A and B are shown apart, each in its own frame.
Chain A
Amino acid sequence: MLWVTWRQHRAALLTGLFLLAAVTVPTLVSGFAMHEEYRAAGIAACLTDPEARAGCAQLLDQFTAHYGQWGNRMIWVTFLPALIGAFVGAPLLAREFENGTWRFAFTQGVSRTRWLLTQLTVVGAAAAVLALACSVLFTWWRGPLDAMSSPMRTAAFTVSPGLVALTLFALALGLFAGVLLRRTVIAMGLTLAVYLTVRITLEETLRPHYLSPLVRTDAQKAADALPPTAWVVDEGLITTAGNRLSDGDERKILQQVYDGDTVREGGAALERYLAEHGLRHYTEYHPADRYPIMLIIEIGLYLGLAFALFAAAAYLVRRRTS
């Protein structure tokens, strides 16, 4: 059964290894250059104490401008799980049903359960190793950038070891779609659509609330006082009684203070107005040290989903009769 699995997926595996190699080379080259510049320019010192020497702020800006763009582009690894889900997971069973080969595979002297478990183990392990390799490579690359901004908000989260969980989730999703629809192309499409929906929902809606954010209220805008690695989730105005103003109310205040003319007086007029009316700023944020816990929660979520989908796929395969 091991040989069978290897034979059926060797093309995909070799493609995966080839892509990994193709990506590794430029990443290593640019990565070493960036790490070297980070060290040589003494950016770490600037981060711990912005007043360490003159031009720190400018230095940080330059560095971010130069490499941040690169780092954001690396968001494409988001598609690695999608590719594995659509091109490995979805066809794994869909193609067997589409071509009728399931009637061949399931009438040899191997039970379906063993057949499926072997395929899952081999393909899953290969996908996980590939994802882990990508994760290690890109996390190393991002090291300097992550020291300068919140890893939770940025692509750091994407390229973290969470990538492995995400990949297994996508694989399971593809597998489930394949056995459910029994049509390769449709299953691939569904896998992509559901993957993106789940991922975007999780990232945008759920991730800020894995843990309840810390809140601080200040007379001045607090964001500047927080370290740059903190992840600000929400900001707004709050009354002395503790009621948060709605967006509409905030807009009314701005209207009232500036009367459509924001430029002339800068922020001072607003601050004056706020003080007069007993309003203060509030900020919801996650400090950087929460990153590991948030990551573990997200990994747990994806692994849970993956397991549920694997189980559902196995159930359908065992039941499938025609």
Chain B
Amino acid sequence: MFAFRVLDRSGVPAYLQLVDQVRRGLLLGHLQEGDQLPTVRAVASAVVINPNTVAKAYRELEHAGLAVARAGQGTFVTGNIEQVPAATYARLSGRLRQWFADAREAGLAPEQVRAMVDAVMDDERRRETA
């Protein structure tokens, strides 16, 4: 069964952390279509978090079409996210890691790295729309 975690001071609301973890799990293949998610109660007591927060996250997932609740059975993943193919993931993540290592070596602070990534993504997006 999928394991969740919730960080206290991340600045991201707990229910969004749960939603993001499912999303990422799907992207990375830790979760697959048809997998059952743990019950609200199980998640709540495992990560010590308000059950209503978990329920809210699950509703959010249903809303986004990532999960579906089947009465009396539980909540199941519907693989609506295009998963990154394993080979692509391996190839790109390796190069990305290398790039980050270079950035660190060049003395870039995390926020400078983030700003660069944002800037590049913005440029690309602008070029696509143009």
A and B touch in the complex (CB under 8 A): no
A residues apposed to B, CB below 8 Å:
none
Residues of chain B having any CB pair with chain A under 8 Å: none
